[in-house]
Amino acid sequence: MQRLPLKALLPILFFASSVSAADRPNILFIFTDDHAPHAIGAYDGWLKSVNPTPNIDQLAAQGTVFTHSFCTNSICGPSRAVIQTGKHSHKNGFRNNGDRFDWNQQTFPKLLQQAGYQTAIFGKSHLAGKPQGYDQWTVLPGQGLYYNPDFITPDGKVTIEGYCTDIVTNMGIDFLKNHRDASKPFLLMVQHKAPHRCWMPALRHLHLYDDIEIPEPATLFDDYSDNAPPARFQELEIDRHMDPHYDLFLDLVPDVEPQAIQARQDKSAWRNLQRFTPDQLAAWRKAWAPKDAAFHEANLSGKDLVRWKFQRYAKNYLRCIKGVDESVGRLVDTLDELNLADNTIVIYCSDQGFYIGDHGWYDKRWMYEESLKMPFVVKWPGVTRPGTRDSHLIQNIDYAPTFLEVAGADVPEDIQGASLVPLLHGQSPTDWRTSIYYHYYEFPSVHMVPRHYGIRTERYKLMHFYEFGNEWELYDLKKDPDEVTNIYNKAKHSKLIESLKTDLRGLQEFYQDDSDISEKPKQWQAEQRKLTSK
């Protein structure tokens, strides 16, 4: 197995020794929740034709797009814990959203503070407890709300009227204009709730895309016939599991709570709607009433109903992204206004990808490409060449060492990621990783995606659903980028499979993942029987 680099010493030492503390770049990290790369124009996905992200695309044109950027565990809290620590979930202790993040552990913002950086975070943390390592912070409690949200501050809870994406952007701009210590470089993390479910756009975007049909993914009606059993027994299909009332706001207004919502434990859509001011509610009703009436008149069923649900879902998802894209434009414009742009690294990223009807799904969790991939766009003036695309395999464990190297700080030996600094300089280290490791843990839980781990190389992906017994999937991503043909049981691939399994075991050893995993079902046998009996 290849040696995975924890540091790329030559370019880093050169960089660290050639700058003074005053010259170290600022870092603006713009972070969203569930923004799939194929919903960014610069990634050339099937949604590019609707021009969803002109400001992010402009940022990409001025810097580097990482086309093979992946998460280690495709779910919100764990991905954020990986970014904070530079360590896989089994090392930082945050495997699923039911865990609690230990803020007392080593994190990169603490290390940046020690290196002389001013640090701030605004928006969605999704790691319970008061953030540590930040000079200034104001964060949403848990998932947070889209309209008139609460925020946790060092002085207690506050409620701010407005749309969450705009409010968080305003906080970032206020920091840049009024609270920045000009004698220090800064790390500013602006972290949005959008486009996380439930997908509530800003009022100004409620009619965006009304005049077009969103292109459908090629796999919208995937039947999972070639997959291992878990793909058939999940609960995240637009067809069978997306609730038109709860997820799509059909007939849902604050003074008439449908029975479908009353029966759910998670009432985030309802709680968001209850927060409306009278003017916001009037605008919401005015926008949705004619659309709901048209739906009822159409009396759809079968694939026509799936297509209607997809359109409503995809449009709201992209409408939420429009607010995020506007935020990117406002923040970049503020850097220009304050003459900070030339010495500020701007990064756009999200915690994982998302299914926008791909394979007939919504949500994330799987190791399939649409949720495994993360957007990662970097503009570093004077370093990243405008309009470049980098195809090296990177992961969210790499962000922490990258930020530390940029700051001229030491990278602790226990950080598992590799600094991206040489890649940002346009270099191609000969010892860069040739495969990435993934491990998802949250089962049984919402959407019922079972635990699994796997390896992805430039061309192949091997996944093991170990709670379902000895169930494996193998894909040739060159011939089958949509992952619709599982070739694991093809005899001609036996040598390839054995080689990948050897490399997979090597990755588990390298990252010290000694989780209690087995090829035979254990504690989840009852859950498996429930799933397979459906």
pLDDT in tens, 449-468: 999 999 999 999 999 999 88
- Confidence (pLDDT) at 253: 64
Does pLDDT of 531 surpass 90?
no
Q: Which of 160-164, 248-252, 398-402, 433-437 has the lowest mean pLDDT?
A: 248-252
Q: Which helix (H) or strand (E) holds 316?
A: helix 302-337
Would you state the structure tokens that stand for residue 55, as one six-digit string?
């400001």
With contact defined as beta carbons under 8 Å apart, do 163 and 202 qualify?
yes
Q: Which of 242-246, 279-283, 314-318, 422-426 has the lowest mean pLDDT?
A: 242-246
pLDDT digits (tens, 9 = 90+) for 118-160: 999 999 999 988 999 999 999 999 999 999 999 999 999 999 9
With contact defined as beta carbons under 8 Å apart, do 460 and 496 qualify?
yes
- Confidence (pLDDT) at 394: 98
Can you give the pTM of this predicted structure?
A: 0.92
Task: Return the closest-CA partner of residue 342 out of 400, 402, 383.
Answer: 383
Mean pLDDT of 488-498: 95
Residue type, 230: P
- d(CA 238, CA 244) in angstroms, rounded, equals 10
Q: What is the 3-state secondary structure (H, E, C) of 265-308?
A: CCCHHHHHHHCCCHHHHHHHHHHHHHHHHHHHHHCCCHHHHHHH
More confident residue, 256 or 126: 126
Does pLDDT of 501 surpass 60?
yes
The residue with tokens 């192949």 is 460
Does pLDDT of 258 surpass 70?
no
More confident residue, 304 or 18: 304
- Confidence (pLDDT) at 470: 84
- Confidence (pLDDT) at 3: 38
pLDDT digits (tens, 9 = 90+) for 40-67: 999 999 999 999 999 999 999 999 999 9
The residue with tokens 């503020």 is 334
Sign (positive or negative) of CA dihedral 132, 324, 447, 462: negative
Mean pLDDT of 402-429: 97
Does pLDDT of 1 surpass 50?
no
- Confidence (pLDDT) at 517: 60
- d(CA 95, CA 467) in angstroms, rounded, equals 16
Q: Which of 309-313, 396-400, 465-469 has the lowest mean pLDDT?
A: 465-469
Domains of the chain: 14-199+313-425 (3.40.720.10), 438-532 (3.30.1120.10)
- Confidence (pLDDT) at 518: 53
Does pLDDT of 525 surpass 80?
no
Does pLDDT of 217 surpass 80?
yes
State how far the alpha carbon of 55 is from the alpha carbons of 60, 85, 88, 199, 398, in Å: 9, 29, 31, 21, 25
Does pLDDT of 415 surpass 70?
yes
Does pLDDT of 39 surpass 80?
yes
- Confidence (pLDDT) at 170: 98
- Confidence (pLDDT) at 15: 42
Q: How confident is the model at residue 532 (pLDDT cuts 50, 70, 90)?
A: very low
- d(CA 384, CA 378) in angstroms, rounded, equals 8
